[in-house]
Amino acid sequence: MFPKNCWYVACTPDEFEKKPLSRRICNELMVFYRDGEGKVAAVQDFCPHRGAALSLGYVEDGKLVCGYHGLKMGRDGKAHSMPKQRVGGFPCVKSYPVEERYGFVWAWPGDPDKANIDDIPHLEWAVSDEWAYGGGLYHINSDYRLMIDNLMDLTHETYVHTSSIGQKEIDEAPVRTRRVDGEIQTTRFMDNVMAPPFWQLNLRSKGLPDDKPVDRWQICRFTPPSHVLIDVGVALEGHGGIDAPADKRVNSIVVDFITPETETSHWYFWGMARNFSPDDSALTDTIREGQGAIFAEDQGVLESQQRNLIEFPEKKLLMLDIDSGGVQARRVIDRLMEEEANDHRSDSK
């Protein structure tokens, strides 16, 4: 269902600023907190004494204190102390590799010996002063792969997002799918069209006319295990489209980190990074609000899909040319899971 020997976005630092955070990642129940050095730690959300959730406790002197009987747990999963008790023989709980980077906490739910922080993808927009980012988090009750399908085929915008980013030309423009440097890309270009409302807003924010024809593009990039970054934008018609001068276009990166929770639910970290007006916090808030409403529309569709797939397990989904990006992304995921299964079989011999 999902590979585990991978880095997933697990949470954002503000989520455990005041108290430990419990979150299930790839069916692994984790609790996140900061240790005595201020570094992020993650251990199994299970107290070895009586099975209470460690996330119901608090942090003291860099140790996670169980809120049931006061057992103190270290970031290595070992019990350190407990009032009037000896804990040296207590079993360890699992600890997980974690890394705080780019404003997110990344977790590795699989074999800790295989975790390499250099495998976390570089995100230039997250470290450059020329870019601004705003986003949020949705919990969605669907297979995470349905979200990948959704993002790798933006044809649905014409029908699901009619009042914001949808337009009929999306349906009419051809889609190209290919593998480029380890990622799956789907591209769509729409020339000489009118910008939909969301992009009219972005044009105005940059001082460009919103009532003139534009050339629009969408380049969806899937990288394993479940990240989709989408280059999107519009340029005043006739100035080169995606290659237009900066003063003739507005463009952004739609950020989608999709983290499996269970077989039928996932965490969806969404946002938009833009390289214009990076210091305009009001614009960031406006874009975040608009984008959040757009993705809420996706949530309703995906959750209805999941209910139907459970209701009608015998039915097969059709695969059209517009689905090729999602199909190829799933093949990459399947390959990763097969490799993990083979490694597990080899380790068991």
Residue 59: closest CA among 28, 86, 38, 30: 38
92 and 206 part of one domain: no
Using the 3D structure, point to which of 74, 93, 118 is the last residue of a domain: 118
Q: Per-residue pLDDT for 138 more than 80?
A: yes
Using the 3D structure, point to which of 100, 118, 136 is the last residue of a domain: 118
C-alpha dihedral (116, 120, 121, 126), degrees to nearest 10: -140
Q: What is the mean pLDDT of residues 18-25?
A: 97
Q: Per-residue pLDDT for 348 more than 70?
A: no
Using the 3D structure, point to which of 118, 151, 184 is the last residue of a domain: 118
80 and 113 part of one domain: yes
Prediction pTM value? 0.94
Confidence bin at 213 (pLDDT 50/70/90): very high
Angle at 81 between CA 77 and CA 83, to 5 degrees: 140
Which of the pair, 138 or 319, is modelled with greater confidence? 138
187 and 306 part of one domain: yes
Confidence bin at 209 (pLDDT 50/70/90): very high
Task: Report how far residue 170's alpha carbon sits from residue 191's, in angstroms, rounded to the nearest whole number.
Answer: 11
- Average pLDDT over the chain reads 93
State both tokens at 257: 């980190």
> What is the 3-state composition of the chain as percent helix, strand, coil, each rounded to the nearest 5?
30, 30, 35
39 and 73 part of one domain: yes
Q: What is the mean pLDDT of residues 140-164?
A: 90
Confidence bin at 204 (pLDDT 50/70/90): very high
Task: Report how far residue 22's alpha carbon sits from residue 261's, in angstroms, rounded to the nearest whole number.
Answer: 12
Task: Report how far residue 165's alpha carbon sits from residue 182's, in angstroms, rounded to the nearest whole number.
Answer: 29
164 and 304 part of one domain: yes
Task: Report how far residue 169's alpha carbon sits from residue 220's, in angstroms, rounded to the nearest whole number.
Answer: 17
C-alpha dihedral (141, 143, 144, 147), degrees to nearest 10: -80
Cα 231 off chain centre by: 15
**Residue 273 contacts residue 253 (beta carbons within 8 Å):** yes
User: Strands 21-25 and 265-274: what pairing?
Assistant: unpaired
State both tokens at 109: 């739910």
Q: What is the mean pLDDT of residues 12-30?
A: 97
Task: Report how far residue 32's alpha carbon sits from residue 15's, in angstroms, rounded to the nearest whole number.
Answer: 9
331 and 231 part of one domain: yes
Task: Report how far residue 48's alpha carbon sits from residue 71's, in angstroms, rounded to the nearest whole number.
Answer: 9
Inside any domain, residue 178: yes
CATH of the domain at 189: 3.90.380.10
Task: Report how far residue 110's alpha carbon sits from residue 113's, in angstroms, rounded to the nearest whole number.
Answer: 9
- What φ, ψ does residue 152 adopt, rounded to 5°? -85, -10
Q: What is the mean pLDDT of residues 134-148?
A: 97
Confidence bin at 136 (pLDDT 50/70/90): very high
* Residue in this structure with the two tokens 């900066």, named with its chain if needed: 246
Task: Report how far residue 212's alpha carbon sits from residue 204's, in angstroms, rounded to the nearest whole number.
Answer: 12
Inside any domain, residue 343: no
Q: Using the Cα atoms of residue 32, residue 25, residue 104 and residue 39 in order, give the sign of their dihedral.
A: positive
104 and 132 part of one domain: no
C-alpha dihedral (103, 107, 108, 114), degrees to nearest 10: 50
Confidence bin at 148 (pLDDT 50/70/90): very high
Inside any domain, residue 253: yes
Q: What is the mean pLDDT of residues 19-25?
A: 98
* pLDDT at site 349: 59
Q: What is the mean pLDDT of residues 168-196?
A: 91
| Residues of the domain holding 31 | 8-118
281 and 213 part of one domain: yes
Q: Per-residue pLDDT for 303 more than 90?
A: yes
Inside any domain, residue 150: yes
**Residue 235 contacts residue 248 (beta carbons within 8 Å):** yes
* Residue in this structure with the two tokens 């996706």, named with its chain if needed: 298
246 and 278 part of one domain: yes
pLDDT tens profile 85-96: 887 788 899 999
189 and 332 part of one domain: yes
Q: Per-residue pLDDT for 168 more than 90?
A: no
Confidence bin at 281 (pLDDT 50/70/90): very high
What are the C-alpha distances in Å from 121 to residues 54, 110, 132?
A: 31, 18, 18
Q: Per-residue pLDDT for 287 more than 70?
A: yes
Inside any domain, residue 28: yes
60 and 202 part of one domain: no
20 and 142 part of one domain: no
Q: What is the mean pLDDT of residues 215-241?
A: 96
Q: Per-residue pLDDT for 339 more than 70?
A: yes
Domains identified in the chain, total number: 2
Inside any domain, residue 349: no
